[in-house]
Amino acid sequence: NVPETTNFLLQFLSLTAHFVEVCGTYLVLRGKMVNFEELSGFPDFATEAKLQECFNYVVNLVQKGGSIVEEGFTKTKEVKIKAFAADLVTEYDKRVEDLIIEGIREKYPNHKFIAEESAAKNPLTADPTWIIDPIDGTTNFVHSNPLIAISVALAVDGKLLMAICLNPIHKELYTAIRGRGAFLNGTPIHCSIVTELKNAVISIEVSLAWADRLRDEVIGRTHVLSGRVIGIRSLGSIVLALCYVARGSLDAYQMEYLQPWDIAAGALLIQEAGGVVKNHRGGEYDIMKAQVLVAGTQELYDQMLAVNRECEGKVITFAKP
């Protein structure tokens, strides 16, 4: 009986939501369990209680970092240029990163870090390693644009285990633990089920065209895709674009020339939300080789990949008016 089945499912979901509210935790089981045998060599995560303790502890640190971001959001910032003109850093980036690293180091002194401002060159080993972007979308932040995020991922034995992303301005906390689904403020999220480009809203970071060596590639691909999709968005925050794919607000996203901290947390969120995370050439995603093409479905990924291959090596020319 379809109505009875529907009613049962609604009651079950209601009870689940109540359970989450009562427990006050961001960790909700998806019907899968972390394989603790894989983590037996890592005592900080070797039991359910220890894994939960670590997760909640770092969520709290990220939220404290969010308060720092909120503090500086509307203020005039002291801005420095790092490697190139579009690569900005503020005092708030450093404060957030220091808070998170120092907090984790205090509780877990043996853990390693790969972080944008202070530990960018560290390698990824089998040791528990936190991959941190203190403020993704710094240019947005400097201009008081709310599309910004703190991104923290944990890799253990070279594999992503945990993801925590926070947009402190919109109060959106995205979380995932491998095998347990992805969540926004404690509510399960899922990638979209769009399978065709003609029905898709995608994201490409068009601002990469500021670089002479990338301009033809970025503009060319955008030109081709613009005639095949419903819409193209450019958010100025890689982390949020990945979060939006995980929640189904974007159907696909592509970005190259990145760093591990740009992608790691968002990659796990999308995987746990049922999406596809690979590189822009069809290969497997590599945490340390941060070039990604992500989509809600395999079919859409394949079509985006076909466009990449179609555009490769081509220069798009535009007729003069």
Instruction: Show which residues are catalytic.
Output: 116, 133, 135-136, 138, 262
Residue with tokens 């674009």: 241
DSSP string covering 233-245: E--S-HHHHHHHH
Alpha-carbon torsion (133, 267, 30, 17), positive or negative: positive
Alpha-carbon torsion (230, 241, 254, 126), positive or negative: negative
CB 277 within 8 A of CB 153: no
Amino acid identity for residue 202 in this structure: I
- The two tokens of residue 208 are 């990469």
Residue 116 marked in a binding site: yes
Amino acid identity for residue 15 in this structure: L
Residue with tokens 């980036």: 93
Tallying the residues shown for the chain, one arrives at 321
Residue 135 marked in a binding site: yes
Residue 196 marked in a binding site: no
Residue 286 marked in a binding site: no
Measured between alpha carbons, how far is 225 from 222 in angstroms, rounded to an integer?
5
Measured between alpha carbons, how far is 208 from 4 in angstroms, rounded to an integer?
52
- The two tokens of residue 265 are 């947390």
Q: Could you tell me which residues are annotated as the binding site for Mg(2+)?
A: 116, 133, 135-136, 262
Q: Could you tell me which residues are annotated as the binding site?
A: 116, 133, 135-136, 262
